[in-house]
Chains A and B, each alone.
Chain A
Amino acid sequence: MNALHPQALHASPAGWPGDIFSALKTAGVRQVAYVPDGGHAELIRAVHADPAMVAIPLTTEEEGVALVSGAWLGGDRACLLMQSSGVGNCINMLSLVRNMGGPFLTFVTMRGEWGEFNPWQVPMGTGTPDAFRLMGVHVLRADRPEEVGPATAAGIRMAYEGGSAVAVLLAQQLIGAKVFVK
């Protein structure tokens, strides 16, 4: 492809990232905004490789809230991929979703909740569900690989068919705690 999309030749993901990817494809989601994240890496590669999707790297998570709202105004289905540490960045921007209405759909890989080595990840990991609820975003959660598909389907339905704001939290056990020292 080109320098902007260095991972574009990677194959479609397997396992739970593949479940999210195929559900997004089936739902006709076109714009996928993301903040780079190891937990979402396979999904991000798949979106970049898919000519029917637009992968949009962001410099900060709140950009994604505004972008997803704009995408939908223009007639595209869109979603935001981020890590729990970025959820706090979105708080004020979620007032856009509250005032203009959904759909809003985000997939959040969790840090700081299970065997986390880095204590700086723990406050936002702990606060993520409450932060979403504070701003009226419905929270779904998948703890095991087999729960990701159903949670994704439920989130897609609530967002794109119901117009709700929905966050699907992907537990740290799915991804594994990052290892800094061995």
Chain B
Amino acid sequence: MSTPVNRLDRRAVVARLLKDRGEAIVVTGLGSPTYDVAAAGDHDRNVYLWGAMGGCAVMALGIALARPDTPVIAVTGDGEMLMGIGSFATIAMQAPKNLTVVVLDNGLYGETGGQASHSVVADLAAIAGASGIADARAIDAMGDVETLAGRATALGNGPCVAVVRIEQAELERVLPTRDGHAIRARVRQSLGLSID
């Protein structure tokens, strides 16, 4: 167990990741990742989750399998990912080339009062790797975020999981819509599908 000295600014990470997102669909895990993605700019292809904890990465898998030519990015937190940890193996079994799971890991449960997250002992990148995800990265530097952005907004050779060590500071909340039906309609419309 080690504490990296260079923890990154979560908003800067997400903003850089999505700067040239192109056609990518982005699914956000409830809590701060939803605010981070909203802070980077609202978008027709943002799927904001405000609940369904543990479901972010595997929901993104469902989209990725339905749209194999469109990059799909799940942006979630360490706590949310731990609750759906089995989805690493589920994703590995399907091996979609267009799915990147970005775990913003601050080592604590920020939404609920800052209790220590299991990620202070559990290495999420190693778990993803051991679950069968060949491209599982731990990221401590903005340069690597830039490389990740290139991977996440394009099609790769298989799924990618990137665990980004971020600062623990609680930032101002940027609240996107909580209307799931509106989000559904907007995303489907942007994909050229009927809204219902």
Given contacts A54-B65, A71-B62, whether A59 and B94 have CB atoms under 8 Å apart is no
Please tell me the size bucket of the interface on B.
Answer: 35 or more
Q: Known contacts A56-B94, A74-B67, A92-B51: does B58 contact A67 (CB below 8 Å)? A: yes
Write out the residue numbers on chain A whose beta carbons fall within 8 Å of the beta carbon of B41: none
Chain B positions within 8 Å of A56 at CB level: 61, 65, 90, 93-94
Any B CB within 8 A of the CB of A30: yes
The answer on a CB contact under 8 Å between A58 and B55 is no
Residues of A close to B87: CB separation below 8 A: 59, 63
B55 touches A96 (CB 8 A): yes
CB-CB under 8 A from B49, the residues of chain A are 96
How many residue pairs bridge A and B at CB < 8 Å? 120
Contact with B along A44-85 (1 / 0, CB 8 A): 000000000010111110110111111111111010000000
Q: Is A176 an interface residue (CB 8 A)?
A: no
The size bracket of the interface on A is 20 to 34
Q: Within 8 Å of chain A (Cβ to Cβ): is B136?
A: no
Most buried by A among B59, B84, B184: B59
By a CB distance below 8 angstroms, the chain B residues around A30 are 66
Q: Are A92 and B53 in contact (CB under 8 A)?
A: yes
A70 touches B66 (CB 8 A): yes
Whether B90 pairs with A58 at a CB distance below 8 angstroms is: yes
Do the beta carbons of B191 and A75 come within 8 Å of each other? yes
Residue numbers of A with Cβ under 8 A of B are: 4, 30-31, 54, 56-60, 62-63, 65-76, 78, 92-93, 95-96, 99-101, 163
Some 15 contacts from A to B, beta carbons below 8 A apart, are A58-B58, A59-B89, A63-B54, A63-B58, A63-B86, A68-B62, A70-B64, A70-B66, A71-B66, A74-B62, A74-B65, A74-B191, A96-B55, A99-B50, A99-B51
